[in-house]
Amino acid sequence: MNEKFIGSVINALPLEHMIGGPLQAMIKAQIQATKSYTDFLLSVCIKDGKANAVQFDYDETVVDEQGVVQGVMTKTMRIPLLAAVTHPIICIEEGTIDFELEISQSESDSSSTEAEASLEASVGWGPFRAKVTGRVSHKSEQTRKTDTRAKYSIHTQVKRQDPPEALMRVIDFLTESATKPVVHKTNSEKLGEFQTTETLQQKEKQAA
């Protein structure tokens, strides 16, 4: 096999584009994924500069130390969406570019010589005469066959990641401050009056 020929084939390949092209595509894909996540934060979790939250009311039964029901208290709880939804953070963890080049070359030489002669003899008397005919041919053939095969494949491994550490701290802060139940004032006052009445009645019984 002609080594110079193989070298010329390899040198003619645009390797910088074959390798750099997929790398640039991976980087652009990562940038697009980051922009999509930013849009998710600004459209779903944050609106007008404030963290969106799910707010709901619920009733909580209040009991004393003896387990006696003292009343029902209505509370309000807010859960920030930053802590309630799954964050679509997509990251390309690994990229592999495989390129295989196979060059096979075969040569064959063939040559042949063909000779053909015929003779008719005649001495020049009577009905006889001499005649000589001949033919000589030479055939030479050289063939060269080159087969080049290339295989090009790209593999990427994508995985969803957790939010960054800084954002996790923000989520923890919002969760801690926003999920503390808030007691409705009217219900709190009623429950306070109810508890005060119960306390006075118990003291009167103890004094008697």
pTM (global) more than 0.75: no
- Please give the C-alpha separations between residue 203 and each of 62, 192, 196, 199, in angstroms, as whole numbers: 21, 17, 11, 6
Q: Which amino acid belongs to residue 46? A: I
Q: How many CB atoms lie within 10 A of CB 153?
A: 10
**pLDDT per position in the chain (208 positions), as tens?**
556 666 676 677 777 887 888 889 989 999 999 999 999 999 889 888 888 888 888 888 888 888 788 888 888 888 888 888 889 998 888 888 887 777 666 666 666 555 554 445 444 555 555 555 555 555 666 676 767 677 778 888 888 888 888 888 888 888 887 666 666 555 445 455 444 444 444 445 555 5
Q: Which of 22, 48, 55 is nearest to 154 (CA)?
A: 22
Q: Which amino acid belongs to residue 118? A: S
Q: Which amino acid belongs to residue 145? A: K
The Cα 147–Cα 13 span in angstroms is 16
Domain boundaries, the chain: 3-108+146-207
Is 62:70 a contact under the CB 8 Å cutoff? yes
